[in-house]
Structure 1
Amino acid sequence: MYLKKESLDFVCHRVGALRALQRHRKEGRQVVYVDDPWFTTRMQHNKEWVDTSQPATSATYSCQGPPGKGELFVVVAGGTEHGFVNYSFLCFPAKSKTGDYHGEMSSTLGLCWPTLQLPPTLDEPLVLVLDNAPYHSQLTEESRCPTSATKKAELVNWLASHRIPFPHHATRLELLQLCRKNRP
């Protein structure tokens, strides 16, 4: 079996996030996890127990329709260590029939819903924990970082505008590396 090894940067980022989460808990912040799973009206579980001694038409025979059939729904909800947050459920039918509903999610929904819907029902201070889905972030002018196609003069301007010191004799690649290291 081949397993892909995680990069050192990714591992360090995860460790940093776990330490930050631990620090937030010690500071008394309530941690709220937000996720957006999907389901179909006729989902089937691969590990489902089925009473095969009963006919398939029996009420005790629990096998459902084939996976992927039926209407697809997206559910967004928040939960804490005490369970689901009251009034935090958002459920809507997806237009996609393939199970990939991510194109229907937007940064407006992915960012606004948790920040507007959850805080009024919770005690502050709180920390929202979201996965890394693209719609849970939004690229703004402040968060844009130069790319490998950015010209040297633009790299210099970006570093100067973000008050990041840099050696004036640095090459374009050194400047780009410095930009990436200081990405907002």
Structure 2
Amino acid sequence: MYVRKESMNVVCHRIRALRTLQRHREEDRMVVYVDETWFTTRMSHNMEWVDSSQPNTSATYSRQVPPGDGERFVVVAAGTADDFVQGSFLCFAANNTTGDYHGEMNGELFLRWLTTQLLAILEQPAVSVMDNAPYHSILTEESRCPTTATRKSHLIEWLEHRQISFPQHATRPELLNICRQYRPEPQYKVDDIIREWGHEIDRLPPAHPELNAIEQVWGHMKRHVRSSLQRFTRADLQARMEEARHSVTDEVWAGAVRRSRAFEDEYRSTDNVHESVDPVIITLDSDSDDEVDLILSSDED
């Protein structure tokens, strides 16, 4: 029997994310699911029967997958319950074929896509649902805390800038320990930019792709590409990816969002998440002349 073990931090993060998402829905904000994925020219099932006597145009031909990892393409996009956000779909060739797409993304590229291909297009207040990939989570300068690589003089500057007292002859390890005691709450550049444009952000807890509906859309597209690749070339992959993108209908998006919200409901149930608790009035019977009413309004989760 599989039992999911989670830290308390992850559970609390999930509860906050669910409450945040529900609040923004009540404010009538559009929910926009943001994510990245990858495709390669070698995408196929690992093993296939091959009839090499047939031409590759034959209906009975089975694909012969060339060796190696092939070329890799990274895709970034955003979508709603209806469709991809128009103009948000970005696809580019990766510089290497090893590792995953995270190595090809960086904060500068993501911020450029965010401001020019997503936020500039959204016409109504929205909440962006995304994970905590490194390029989503670049800290602002004010929320950065010194590290073990920080010089002693910079530790002193950091403390003095925040008017934090420290012993006059404190050593570098002592200064670093004081800095960590006053570590600021993390503030992310992405969050600030999204709010500057009049929108909000909801960061999902680690390892919760089921709460991001676009993940299921990626799965739909990858199944199409895997089943249709024949020549395993860049041109073939690009053509199949374009087909896959157009195969994502409004029904596909609606189904993906429906399944994602089913997971939300399941987590709300298991985590005992309630948006509000009505006061409970309990009258205590007593032999005394006065009747005592207790009003309980605590949240049990």
TM-score by length of 2: 0.47
Q: State the partner residue of 2:213.
A: none
Indicate whether 1:80 and 2:80 are aligned.
Answer: yes
* Paired residue secondary structure (2:75): strand
Greater helix fraction, Structure 1 or Structure 2 = 2
| Mapped partners of 1:62, 1:87: distance in 2 | 36
Aligned positions of 1:6-155 closer than 5 A: 6-45=6-45, 55=51, 57=54, 58-59=58-59, 63=63, 65=65, 69-147=69-147
Change (3 A) 1:110 1:26: same
* Paired residue secondary structure (1:142): helix
* Paired residue secondary structure (1:37): strand
Shift of 1:64: 6.2
Aligned pair count reads 173
| Mapped partners of 2:26, 2:100: distance in 1 | 38
Greater Rg over alpha carbons, structure: 2
| Mapped partners of 1:145, 1:131: distance in 2 | 22
Shift of 1:11: 1.7
Paired letter, 1:15:
I
* Paired residue secondary structure (1:120): coil
Query: Is the Cα–Cα contact under 8 Å of residues 32 and 80 in structure 1 kept in the other structure?
Result: yes
* Paired residue secondary structure (1:84): coil
Change (3 A) 1:153 1:84: same
Shift of 1:63: 4.9
What CA deviation, in whole Å up to 9, does each residue of 1:49-93 have, x standing for no partner? Answer: x7x6x9464435565626863211111111111121111111111
What CA deviation, in whole Å up to 9, does each residue of 1:81-122 have, x standing for no partner? Answer: 112111111111111111423222110111221232113332
| Mapped partners of 2:117, 2:26: distance in 1 | 25
| Mapped partners of 2:12, 2:179: distance in 1 | 23
Task: Report % sequence identity.
Answer: 56
Change (3 A) 1:3 1:55: same
Unaligned runs of 5+ in 1: 161-165
Change (3 A) 1:106 1:174: closer
Change (3 A) 1:63 1:81: farther
Shift of 1:137: 2.7
* Paired residue secondary structure (1:102): helix
* Paired residue secondary structure (1:73): strand
* Paired residue secondary structure (1:34): strand
Change (3 A) 1:143 1:60: farther
TM-score by length of 1: 0.72
Query: Is the Cα–Cα contact under 8 Å of residues 72 and 99 in structure 1 kept in the other structure?
Result: no
Paired letter, 1:176:
R
| Mapped partners of 1:124, 1:55: distance in 2 | 54
CA RMSD across the alignment: 3.7
What CA deviation, in whole Å up to 9, does each residue of 1:2-48 have, x standing for no partner? Answer: 978322112211211121111111111111111110011230146x9
Change (3 A) 1:68 1:29: farther
Query: Is the Cα–Cα contact under 8 Å of residues 42 and 64 in structure 1 kept in the other structure?
Result: no
Paired letter, 2:35:
D
* Paired residue secondary structure (1:138): coil
Change (3 A) 1:8 1:92: same
